[in-house]
């Protein structure tokens, strides 16, 4: 296992993770944001209104928000979730080496996020619109392997593929990836 011997102003980041792992996590978050924007751009091609437009409309209707704040809040919420999903993908990429494991996690994340999307999105709308949280009013889980699943699969595949290429280039240049060494 390789350790980062350079001093760092943030010691908590040094425990168990080297500079290249932190870079990969930062890149995974940035990829999450970029792919999150692409997700919204591509969504109409699948016959759907964009998630951000649906959320913004709900914020306007339920929370009495004006157009601009509603759109901004919808984008901030969407990008925050996208960055989080990118971070999760980065952690998996650091932790596991075999591409078969990465593919498995990509499919699992795609399925789980598709499954929970309807109630999660409705909950976000309730929270942002300052509505009473009513779990009974949330829609059910989405068990369909539909366009939403395909969009989530493309989202996670894009992030995982880019991170896989980045990791391969790191390894080719001799830059260590500490956590993946621990896993195998």
One-letter-per-residue 3-state SS of 65-98: CCHHHHHHHHHHHHHHHHHHHHHHHHHHHHHCCC
CA-CA distances (angstroms) from residue 158 to 34, 97, 163, 170? 10, 17, 9, 18
Averaged pLDDT of the chain: 87
pLDDT range class, residue 88, cuts 50, 70, 90: very high
Q: State the average pLDDT over residues 98-124.
A: 95
Instruction: Please say if the pLDDT value at position 132 is more than 90.
Output: no
pLDDT for res 18 = 83
57-66, 68-77, 128-137, 139-148: segment of lowest average pLDDT: 128-137
pLDDT of residue 16: 56
140: left (phi over 0), alpha (psi -120 to 50) or beta: beta
94 close to 25: Cβ distance less than 8 angstroms: yes
Can you tell me the mean pLDDT for 20-34?
A: 95
86 and 159 Cβ atoms separated by less than 8 Å: yes
Please report, for the chain, the start and end positions of each structural domain, with discontinuous segments joined by +: 19-183
Burial of 2 (0-12, 13-18, 19+ CB in 10 A): exposed
What is the spatial distance between Cα 1 and Cα 12, in angstroms, rounded to a whole number?
18
pLDDT at 3: 43
The per-residue pLDDT for 176 is 56
Distance (Å, rounded) from C-alpha 24 to C-alpha 17? 11
pLDDT value at residue 4: 43
For residue 154, how far is the Cα from the chain centroid?
12
Whether the pLDDT of residue 12 is over 50: the answer is no
Taking residues 92-112, report their average pLDDT.
95
């Amino acid at each position: 296992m390789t350790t980062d011997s350079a001093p760092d102003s943030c010691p908590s980041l040094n425990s168990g993770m080297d500079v290249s792992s932190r870079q990969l996590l930062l890149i995974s978050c940035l990829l999450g944001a970029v792919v999150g924007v692409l997700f919204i751009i591509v969504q109409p091609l699948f016959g759907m209104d964009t998630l951000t437009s649906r959320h913004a409309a709900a914020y306007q209707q339920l929370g009495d928000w004006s157009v601009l704040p509603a759109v901004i809040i919808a984008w901030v919420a969407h990008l925050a979730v996208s960055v989080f999903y990118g971070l999760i993908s980065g952690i998996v990429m650091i932790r596991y080496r075999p591409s078969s494991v990465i593919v498995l996690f990509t499919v699992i994340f795609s399925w789980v996020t598709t499954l929970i999307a309807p109630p999660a999105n409705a909950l976000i709308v309730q929270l942002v619109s300052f509505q009473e949280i009513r779990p009974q009013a949330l829609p059910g889980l989405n068990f369909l392997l539909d366009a939403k699943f395909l969009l989530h699969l493309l989202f996670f595949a894009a992030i995982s593929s880019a991170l896989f290429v980045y990791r391969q280039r790191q390894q080719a240049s001799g830059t260590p990836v500490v956590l993946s060494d621990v896993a195998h």
